[in-house]
């Protein structure tokens, strides 16, 4: 039986980056909610960058680990972290503050991708190929998380704007979110939808690639 150490190393590295990026995404939701007056995430110990506070052992560990090992083959699976719960009645500006909390998760992924791009600039100038590859991985994972989470499909972050902008009740949204994960799992295994995601991902990468070119 062949044992590809390079593949194992790359899979482990990707797994670590995914876990940390998912955790930082949820930290973004928690810290913004806390700053806007809702102490619910703090009472649940979520206003921290420590990954264990945000890890869901199935969605954050098992699924990404199996995926990194190629366990699912061509079948795409979804990873997730422990969701951050908020109390909307604690927000002074109602749905405006809720929207800020919602966008904070993808916003953190954007910031991480931006920082990794700047790190890549330094690595390119130092001619450190291994470091360039690492930062490229961080950019790819975080841009992917940002794009995916902004899709308007419950329970993803982008879908919550259906409530904020179109007056959807929380009860109706919860009903949709109940089935949303199954819908997502089905969609990401449809070739046409995966091609659509690839187009969105490549489009979202354009500003980061442009920044890299400009600065190097």
- How many whole angstroms separate alpha carbon 179 and alpha carbon 132? 40
First-to-last CA distance in the chain?
A: 43
Q: Which of 109, 98, 102 is nearest to 29 (CA)?
A: 102
Query: pTM score, two decimals?
Result: 0.91
| pLDDT by position in tens, the chain (length 216) | 455 777 778 888 988 999 999 999 999 999 999 999 999 999 999 999 999 999 999 988 888 778 766 777 777 777 889 999 999 899 999 989 999 999 999 999 999 999 999 999 999 999 988 999 999 999 999 999 999 999 999 889 999 887 787 777 777 888 888 888 888 889 999 999 999 999 999 999 999 999 999 999
Residue 26 a catalytic site member: yes
State the pLDDT at residue 1. 43
- How many whole angstroms separate alpha carbon 29 and alpha carbon 55? 14
């Amino acid at each position: 039986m062949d044992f590809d150490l390079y593949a194992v190393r790359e899979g482990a590295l990707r797994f670590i980056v995914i876990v940390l990026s998912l955790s930082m995404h949820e930290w973004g939701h928690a810290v913004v909610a806390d700053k806007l007056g809702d102490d619910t995430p703090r009472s649940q110990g979520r206003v921290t960058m420590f990954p264990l506070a945000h890890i869901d052992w199935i969605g954050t560990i098992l699924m990404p680990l199996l995926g990194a090992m190629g366990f699912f083959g061509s079948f795409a699976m979804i990873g997730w972290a422990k969701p951050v719960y908020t109390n909307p009645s604690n927000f002074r500006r109602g749905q405006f503050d809720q929207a800020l909390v919602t966008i904070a998760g993808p916003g953190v992924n954007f910031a991480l991708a931006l920082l990794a791009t700047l790190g890549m600039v330094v690595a390119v100038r130092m001619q450190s190929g291994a470091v360039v590859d690492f930062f490229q991985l961080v950019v790819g994972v975080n841009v992917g998380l940002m794009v995916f989470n902004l899709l308007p499909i419950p329970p993803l972050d982008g879908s919550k704007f259906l409530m904020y902008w179109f007056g959807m009740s929380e009860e109706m949204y919860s009903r949709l979110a109940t089935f949303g994960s199954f819908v997502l799992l089905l969609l990401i295994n449809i070739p046409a939808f995966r091609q659509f995601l690839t187009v969105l991902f490549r489009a979202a990468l354009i500003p980061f690639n442009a920044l890299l070119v400009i600065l190097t």
